[in-house]
A and B are shown apart, each in its own frame.
Chain A
Amino acid sequence: MKPQEPIPHNYSIRRLNWIFALSSLGLLVVTGLIVGYDYIRGWKWFQLEFMRMQRERIVQEVQLASSAENKQLLANLDEQTRRNSLELAAHRDQYLSAQKAFDAMEGDHYRADQDYRFAKANLDAQRYIAEVSIVQHRSDAAQQQTEYERQTKHLADLQVRLQEVTRQRDAAKANVDQWLKKIKDAEDKRKELTASVDLLDKQLNLVDMDRFSTNWILSQPMLDFVNPVIKIDQVVLNDLSIDMNYMNVPRVDRCQTCHRAIDTPGWESKTEAARLSQELQQKLDAYDIPQEKRKETEGRIAELKRIQDAPSDILNPWRTHPKLDLFVGSASVHPLLEYGCTVCHRGQDRATEFGRAGHTPASPRMEHRWAERTMLTGGFFPLPRDFEKRNWGYEENEFVETPMYPRHYYEAGCIKCHSGQMSVDRGDDITKATQTVELYGCYACHKINNWRFSDLRKPGPDLGGIAEKTTPEWAFRWISEPHDFRSTTRMPSFFYQRNMVDPSVVPPQERAHNIKLQEAEIHAIVSYLFDKSTHRSWSPPGAGDAARGKQIVGSVGCLGCHVDTEQVKDEKTGRIRLAKREDFPLERNYGFNFTGVGTKTNAAWIYNWIKNPKAYYTDAPMPSLRLTDQEASDVTAYLLTMQKPGFMNTPIRPPDAQAVHDLAKGYLINTLSDRDAELRLRSMSGHDQLVYLGHRSIEKYGCYSCHNIKGFEGLKPVGTELTVEGSKALHLFDFGFMNDQQWKNEDGATEHVIHTVPSWVYNKLRNPRIYDDRRTKVYNDKLKMPNFHLTPEEARRIAMVVVGLTKEKVAENRMAGLDARTRFIEEGRKRVSQHNCRACHVVDGRGRAIASTIADANFFPPDLSPEGARAQSPFLFNFLKDPTVMKIRPWVSVRMPTFHFSDEETNTLVTFFAQEGQRSQFDTARNVNPTAQNVMIGKQVFTMLRCGQCHVTTPVQNPENPPVPNTAETASLAPNLTLARLRLRHDWISDWIRRPNEMIPGTRMPANFPRDAATGGFQSPLAMAIDTPQFAQYKATLLPLFKGDEKELKRTMSDAVALTDYLRDYIWSIGIIQMRTASPDGQAPSMAMPQPSLPPVAAPAAKSTRNQRGAPAAGSGPGR
């Protein structure tokens, strides 16, 4: 066979071989590169570094555990074991015989046990046979029955035997153990000592990354799919989904992939460790930590000290979360496995690279530090950069839709789940932020479709009757610059702002022109308002005494909502300066500052406004203090002395006709041709032109959003809707030329705009016209949001709310406060906030701003913390509608005002209190009648405890006017107890007597039955006292009531619960049961309005004449 001829080729095989060889080599290299690219990830380095840190720490701990001291201890123990063994050997015979006896007993026990079990089984079988033979009427029934009884007896014998043997065996065992015990004890101690070291060794194995260790091999490329040590760590959160347009996908948080120690204590930063250890140390020093926890706390402090003393600080991302007790910690309310991270912080959940995760710098400095690049700038292999300087190679990522909230805006994340709550527990920042938004009325111009910000009243006063209240000259100056008149006002400045007049950004010529236009607009607005205003005539006040007026203002409660001075002493410099809003608590900024009210308005208006604010406009937030004509006249006289000299002296130029014409025409040509517009203007008088322009200007600036203005009813608010503003993409915010620019604000602070949404919003709030800088815009296109002169802190808070308003949704079960009870409570809280109840009262543990103006705490308005548990709903309803129905502490000068609540609103409040006190609104206990015997015992207890020393029990004929005894100084008086039956819940009375200080900390009501420190039970002072000669007379009276049973009497006298129940029964028995109900419109009966030109106020229900001056200190306040 001849060899096959080579197949002829048109190409060179040799060359092909080369090509194949080279390309396969190339492929190999590329494959290697692919593997490498896949293998080398930035996050792996963070894990490796963390493992190194862990190793370092474990090694240190191992050293501590195996210190010389411990070694000595171990040696001692070994020595002891050895000695014990020797001793055991010496008494070997005794030990062996004991052991032998025990072995024998074990055998006996086994046999006895077996016998017993078998006999028991046999007995069960016999029982069946016996039963069957009886049922089937067998002949051997009786025989079987006898057999059954015999076996029963046998079993009982065996049981006794078994018990005996067991006892003997246990004794033998104890005998043996006695010999072994010493050795065993030493061994146990040894185990205890070495256990910590063993545990540490195990932990060390887990983080071991030595070359060729198991972990090392398992993390090599191509091998790391088996059981990788370094891997992505993630939490899947189905309830907290992400909206991917048209579908929701679960959130998958991978943050711990790098933030390794986020939920593990012990990795705090040095500053954080210092803060925590200081906190703990303070608590420890003040004995604030229970004895059994002291050691644990000391250990924790030592750990924190070690962190502080360590040569290097623990850097992010390896730090522990600073609020482990609230977030991330497994025992916290937001555990990591259920809530993850991005639901609060935002950011790209699945991302594992620094930039892609959406990290957002808080300041330009931080941004530059992050972005600085050192080694490999490209990022093909995302290696760790210079982590000591924290240069992460950060690059702003325009495509991350949900960048993280920067540091100062963290609590914005709370809104997502907590927007149905008025306050977030331990979320002080966000609670204050939402309050700030409410206070400034942001919701009025910017619709916020969210429970928290809907259904609120317009923040500004009604302007329908402005001509009755003030003059056009005042209004002109006020609109020009409200802060010139009142430094604490919340009315923002619309005119003469940065983009109109600031010489540094507006050329001089344009500036002069702008001023003319602005003046024309203000004139136009004033003309419109006064043109449309009503002109009712108000009755003038009588002669008033300003000094008495000042005293009334200071005492009846005006200062809960209002401030009467504009001069405050600066805490830092000690100098007197103009007041700022933050000088006063939130509640006292609710009403206006009295300064200048005499300049602004006139006597008749003030007089009628304080007499009945609702007469001026029906939705006035100001309640009626029920002042008499004389009191109102006095207050009017005082308020008229509150002048702002000089304010009315600033010159007003008449409007520039050309400017009015141009502006008006600018509006007209939107719908008319140039010629028609000109004709229309010519047909109008100068005043008409102004009014027309005023209408347009009010529309332009949106004055109607905050004020009621005739002709603008039902118009949509002027500003951008903010409901989902936080989800708006970055590129939709107009930064103008301000990106990465510094600018100087009017208060002298330098601000810096960086390219993030929070920064944009913050700078906008600091100066709303800032983004017009260097832009060329026509007059009407310029930004027109007014300037609220917010402090950096206020601006930050409001910006926090704005960026927190997102379209992200969470499952309903993750929303806070959605259950029915919480809804009732939150609705009530909203009312409480709207009506500023906290100005005078403590509600939910906060409030009573008025306290700073009342010298004696005995005359404070009441703490309402236990109100739901305390007050009967019918009483509360009547009292809220009309506080004159009952005067609980007539000697208190601060009055509960009449708010003219609607029935619905009153019910909301009553339900709120009841639900918060975990009570139902109505109960039958109010109809209970105590037995005569109980009442008699109660009366004696009442006398023995001297309750009457402070509490009055004189029957009240007229609850609206209870008598005030003169026996003690009024500061030590307590409510008249005959009002209790109408007012207090039956069960609450005895509960309150038992533990007043637990219900209202700091109350004046003393604990008559103090708790025993050891047992926590109530102690009765009468237990011992009843036998003393002092109390002989009481004892004599009481004995017959206990049928002469002295033992029973003494038992009762030591039973605090029984005694308080008797006291309650007595108090109940002396109670009056009648009170006037509130009239349907919530008006106090004597409050017929004297205004002649008003529609008549609903006729009084009953008792139309009441002489207020007759009451000793005509005042009223709810009970303590």
Chain B
Amino acid sequence: MTMKKFVTMLFASTLLFSIACGKGKEASKQDQGEDDETQTTTTAATASNAPAAAPAAAPVSADAATLTGLVKFEGAAPKMNTIQMSADPYCQSQHGGAPATEEDAVVGPAGELANVFVYIKDIKGNFPTPSTAVTIEQKGCQYHPHVNAVMVGQPLAIKNDDATLHNIHAMPTANSQFNEGQPIQGMVSTKKLDKVEMTPFKIKCDVHGWMKSYMAVMPHPFFAVSQTNGTFTISNLPPGQYTVVAWHEKYGQQEQRVTVGAKESKALSFTFKG
């Protein structure tokens, strides 16, 4: 009896192999079917998304919306210290009688906060990179502008207008660092940053400890820096729902959700606290 059981088991197991093979074939057939289905659904999805994605390809569309805004500072405006430039007589001479002040918090009379970098965090699509360079000037041993951004791959020109040695020491986290000396007045170094870094990184001069500038590398052109009157404008924005981020070197960053319709012009306001 037991022997019979063994023999049956032996046959059963041999059979099992063959069945397993057969089953495998069926299973694979079934899978194919399912796969086809998912494929069609994805194409359908892209088709329905198509109108929304279209403006991305052509940045300036008739529907483009505009975001404007005002950045305010709440609380007692911080004192802007004068910069002690005596270490380099050249720098001091450039400012004549009125010594330059620090730029880490530039607050206007009514609390307008300048140098705030405002950008859209979550917009997808391919946006053409301008071939014109963004320029940072080193003038009177200070950076102009203090905060700025380039698009990925856009040339960044850094110019030394001073008759003294500057070195541009960029300290990005994703892009590779660079640190170049500019001993000659009028010298221009052109750089390309090829990785996205939406939170601005620092550029400093090791010769003049007070010199600082901030630079972001954006995948899209929807960003702005607040002016001395605290205003900023982001234009040509495709309609949609976005997260807008405002970043300040000293006061950190804030986020707001915003929905803009076609041709809509929307005003935002950010308030930083000291």
Residues of A whose CB lies within 8 Å of any CB of B are 29, 32-33, 36, 40, 48-49, 52, 55-56, 59-60, 63, 209-211, 216, 221, 285-288, 309, 311, 381, 383, 858, 944-946, 949-950, 967-969, 971-972, 996-997, 1001-1008, 1010, 1013, 1021-1022, 1025, 1028, 1030-1031
Given known contacts A32-B10, A63-B32, A286-B195, A971 and B177 CB-to-CB distance under 8 angstroms: no
Looking at the complex, which one of A33, A944, A997 makes contact with B10 (CB distance below 8 Å)? A33
Contact yes or no, A221 B14, CB < 8 A: yes
The stretch among B21-29, B102-110, B231-239 that forms the contact with chain A is B21-29
Whose C-beta in chain A lies nearest to the C-beta of B184? A1025
Roughly how many angstroms separate A1008 CA and B25 CA in the complex, as a whole number? 67
- How far apart are the CA atoms of A48 and B18 in the complex, in Å? 10
Are A1025 and B187 neighbours in the complex by a CB distance under 8 Å? yes
A-B residue pairs in contact (CB < 8 Å), sample of 30: A33-B7, A48-B20, A49-B20, A55-B28, A56-B31, A59-B28, A63-B32, A209-B21, A210-B21, A210-B22, A210-B25, A211-B21, A287-B194, A309-B38, A311-B31, A311-B34, A946-B165, A946-B181, A949-B88, A949-B165, A969-B209, A971-B209, A972-B208, A1002-B179, A1007-B180, A1010-B180, A1013-B192, A1022-B184, A1025-B187, A1028-B184
Q: Min CB distance, B4 to chain A, in Å?
A: 9
- Report the Cα distance A800→B207, complex, angstroms: 49
CB–CB B178/A950 < 8 A: no
Task: Report Cα–Cα, A383/B9, bound state, in Å.
Answer: 11
- Main secondary structure, interface of B, reads mixed
Q: Report the Cα distance A49→B171, complex, angstroms.
A: 53
Q: In the assembly, what is the distance between CA of A969 and CA of B211, in Å?
A: 13
Residues A60 and B32 in contact in the complex (CB < 8 Å), given A48-B17, A967-B87, A972-B208: yes
Whether B87 lies near A968 (C-beta < 8 A) is yes
Q: Is the CB of A211 within 8 A of B183?
A: no
Q: Return chain A residues, CB-CB under 8 Å to B27.
A: 52, 56
| CB pair B24 A997 closer than 8 Å | no
CA gap between A606 and B168 in the complex, in Å:
47
Q: A29-B3, A48-B20, A949-B165 are in contact. Are A997 and B87 (CB under 8 A)?
A: no
Chain A nearest Cβ from B135, distance in angstroms: 18
Does B185 sit at the interface, judged by CB under 8 A?
Answer: yes
CA distance A1075 to B96 in the complex (A): 45
Check B21 against A1021 for contact (C-beta < 8 Å). Answer: no
List the count of A-B residue pairs having beta carbons below 8 Å apart.
140
Contact flags B172-196 to A (C-beta < 8 A → 1, else 0): 0010011111111111010010111
Are A211 and B22 closer than 8 Å at their CB atoms? yes
Residues from chain A with a CB closer than 8 A to the CB of B87 are 967-969, 972
Chain A proximity of B20: nearest CB distance (Å):
6
A287 contacts B195, C-beta separation under 8 Å: yes
Q: Are A60 and B165 in contact (CB under 8 A)?
A: no
Residues of B with Cβ closer than 8 Å to A? 3, 6-7, 9-10, 13-14, 17-18, 20-22, 24-25, 27-28, 31-32, 34-35, 38, 84, 87-88, 152, 163-165, 167-169, 171, 174, 177-187, 189, 192, 194-196, 206-209
Distance between Cα atoms of A1005 and B181 in the complex (Å): 8
The residue of chain A having its C-beta at the shortest distance from the C-beta of B34 within the complex is A311
A56 engages B24 (CB within 8 Å): yes
**In the complex, what residue of chain A is closest to B3 when comparing beta carbons?**
A29
Measured CB to CB, the closest approach of chain B to A627, in angstroms, equals 29
- Measured in the bound complex, the distance between the Cα atoms of B180 and A387 in whole Å is 61
CB-CB nearest in chain A for B152: A287
Residues of A within 8 A of B21 (CB): 48, 52, 209-211, 216
Residues of chain B contacted by A1006 (CB below 8 angstroms): 167-169, 179-181, 206
Establish whether residues B189 and A1010, one from each chain, have CB atoms under 8 Å apart when the complex forms.
yes
Decide if A858 touches B183 in the complex (CB within 8 Å). Answer: no
- Asked whether, in the complex, the Cβ of A972 is within 8 Å of the Cβ of B209, the reply is yes
A550 CB → nearest B CB, Å: 25
When chains A and B are docked, how far (Å) is the Cα of A285 from the Cα of B88?
A: 43
Task: Report yes or no: A60 in contact with B28, Cβ–Cβ below 8 A.
Answer: yes
The answer to whether A381 touches B9 (Cβ under 8 A) is: yes
Shortest Cβ gap from B210 to chain A (Å): 9
What is the bound-complex CA distance between A997 and B171, given in angstroms?
12
A946 & B180 in contact (Cβ 8 Å cutoff): no
Residues of B within 8 A of A944 (CB): 183-184
Q: Which chain B residue shows the least CB distance to A33?
A: B6
Chain A's closest residue to B205 (CB) is A972
Cβ of B152 and Cβ of A950 under 8 Å apart?
Answer: no
Measured CB to CB, the closest approach of chain B to A314, in angstroms, equals: 14
- Distance in angstroms from B119 CB to nearest chain A CB is 16
A950 to B179, CA, bound (A): 15
Q: How far is the CA of A478 from the CA of B163 in the complex (A)?
A: 65
Q: Please name 7 further chain A to chain B contacts, defined as beta carbons within 8 Å, in addition to the given A48-B20, A309-B38, A1021-B187, sorted by A numbering.
A: A55-B24, A383-B13, A971-B209, A997-B178, A1007-B181, A1010-B189, A1030-B184
A286 to B35, CA, bound (A): 31
From A63, A287, A383, B196 is in contact (CB under 8 Å) with A287
Residues of A within 8 A of B31 (CB): 56, 60, 311
> In whole Å, how far is A47's beta carbon from the nearest beta carbon of chain B?
11
Known contacts: A216-B21, A997-B178. The answer to whether A1021 contacts B196 by CB under 8 A is: no
Closest to A210 in B: B21
Which residue of A52, A996, A1010, A1031 contacts B20 across the interface (Cβ within 8 Å)? A52
Separation of A944 and B184 alpha carbons in the complex (Å): 8
**Complex Cα–Cα for A464 and B38 (A):** 78
Whether A972 touches B206, Cβ cut-off 8 Å, given contacts A36-B10, A55-B28, A56-B24, is: yes
A355 to chain B, nearest CB (A): 20
Give chain A nearest CB distance to B126 CB in angstroms. Answer: 13
